[in-house]
Amino acid sequence: MPLIEARDVYGGYGSMNILNGVNMALEAHEVGVIVGPNGAGKSTLLKAIFGLLHVNQGDILLNGAPIQNLPTNQLVERGMGFVPQEKNVFPSLTVQENLEMGAFLKPQNVKRMLGQVYEFFPPLQEKRHQPAGELSGGQRQMVAMGRALMAEPSLLLLDEPTAGLSPLYMNEIFDRVKHINAAGVGILMVEQNAKQALAIADKGFVLAAGQNRFTDTGAALLADPDVAKSFLGG
Amino acid sequence: MNELVFFINNVVIAGSVTGAIYAIGAIGVTLVFSIMRFAHFAHADIMTFGAFMVLVLTTAFPSVGMSIGVPTALVMLPVAMVITACLAVGIDKAFYKPLRAHGVKPIVMVIASLGVTLILQGMIRLFSGTGGQGLYVDDRKAIFRMLPFENVRVPIVITEPQIYLFAITLVAVIALHLFLSRSRLGKAMRAMSDNPELAQASGINTNTIVAVTWVIAGGLAAIAGTLLSLDVTFKPDLSFFLLLPIFAAAIVGGVGHPFGAVAGGFVVAFAETLAVFNWGVFLRPFRDSLPTWLELPSNLAFVGTEYKIVVPFFILVAILIWRPTGIFKGKVI
Query: pLDDT digit of tens for each residue in chain B (333 aa)?
Result: 778 888 888 889 999 999 999 999 999 999 999 999 999 999 999 999 999 999 999 989 888 877 787 888 899 999 999 999 999 999 999 999 999 999 899 999 999 999 999 999 999 999 988 888 887 765 667 788 877 777 777 888 888 889 999 999 999 999 999 999 999 999 999 999 999 999 999 999 999 999 999 999 999 999 999 999 998 889 998 888 899 999 999 999 888 888 999 999 999 999 999 988 888 777 777 777 777 777 767 777 888 878 888 888 888 888 888 888 887 776 655
pLDDT at B153: 78
A76 touches chain B (CB under 8 A): yes
Going by their DSSP bridges, the two strands A31-35 and A203-208 should be labelled as parallel
Question: How many angstroms separate the CA atoms of B236 and B24, rounded?
Answer: 19
- The answer to whether the CB of B110 falls within 8 A of the CB of B97 is no
Per-domain residue ranges of chain A:
1-79+153-234, 85-152
A72: closest chain B residue by CA:
B201
Using CB atoms, which residue from B187, B193, B201 is nearest to A100? Answer: B187
In angstroms, how far is the first alpha carbon of chain A from the final one? 36
Using CB atoms, which residue from A77, A90, A92 is nearest to B198? Answer: A90
pLDDT (average), residues A186-202 = 91
Question: How many angstroms separate the CA atoms of B254 and A89, rounded?
Answer: 21
Give the distance, in angstroms, between the CA of residue B189 and the centroid of all CA atoms in the same chain: 22
Per-domain residue ranges of chain B:
2-322
pLDDT at B138: 58
Sheet containing A155-159: give its strands across.
A80-83, A155-159, A186-190, A31-35, A203-208, A211-217
Q: Which burial class, exposed, middle or buried, applies to A218 when counting CB atoms under 10 A from its CB (0-12, 13-18, 19+)?
A: buried
Judge: B203–A76 Cβ closer than 8 Å, yes or no: yes
Which chain B residues have a beta carbon less than 8 Å from that of A73?
A: 200, 203-205
Question: How does B249-263 read in b/e, with b if 16+ C-beta sit within 10 Å?
Answer: bbbbbbbbbbbbbbb
DSSP B27-65: HHHHHHHHHH-S--TTHHHHHHHHHHHHHHHHHHSTTHH
Judge: B194–A92 Cβ closer than 8 Å, yes or no: yes
Chosen for mutation from A83, A97, A104, A106 (greatest number of chain B CBs closer than 10 Å) is A104
DSSP B209-265: HHHHHHHHHHHHHHHHHHHHHHHS-B-TTTGGGGHHHHHHHHHHH-BT-HHHHHHHH
Strand partners, A9: A22
Q: Between residues B325 and A204, which one has the greater pLDDT?
A: A204
DSSP state of B141: P
Which chain B residues have a beta carbon less than 8 Å from that of A100?
A: 184, 187
Question: How many angstroms separate the CA atoms of B227 and B217, rounded?
Answer: 15
CA-nearest of B24, B37, B41 to B268 is: B24
pLDDT (average), residues A63-75 = 89
Question: How many angstroms separate the CA atoms of A69 and B246, rounded?
Answer: 42
Min Cα distance B84 → chain A (Å) is: 28
ipTM tops the 0.85 cut: yes
Using CB atoms, which residue from B184, B195, B205 is nearest to A73? Answer: B205
Using CB atoms, which residue from A82, A104, A147 is nearest to B188? Answer: A104
Give phi and psi for A135, each to the nearest 5: -85, 165
Chosen for mutation from A74, A101, A117 (greatest number of chain B CBs closer than 10 Å) is A101
Q: How confident is the model at residue A215 (pLDDT cuts 50, 70, 90)?
A: confident
pLDDT, one tens digit per residue, over B5-24 is 888 888 899 999 999 999 99
Helix (H, G, I), strand (E, B) or coil at A6: strand
Answer whether 0.95 is exceeded by the pTM. Answer: no
- May I ask the CATH architecture of the domain A1-79+153-234? 3-Layer(aba) Sandwich (3.40)
- May I ask the CATH architecture of the domain B2-322? Orthogonal Bundle (1.10)
Min Cα distance B178 → chain A (Å) is: 14
A88: closest chain B residue by CA:
B198
Using CB atoms, which residue from A87, A92, A147 is nearest to B202? Answer: A147
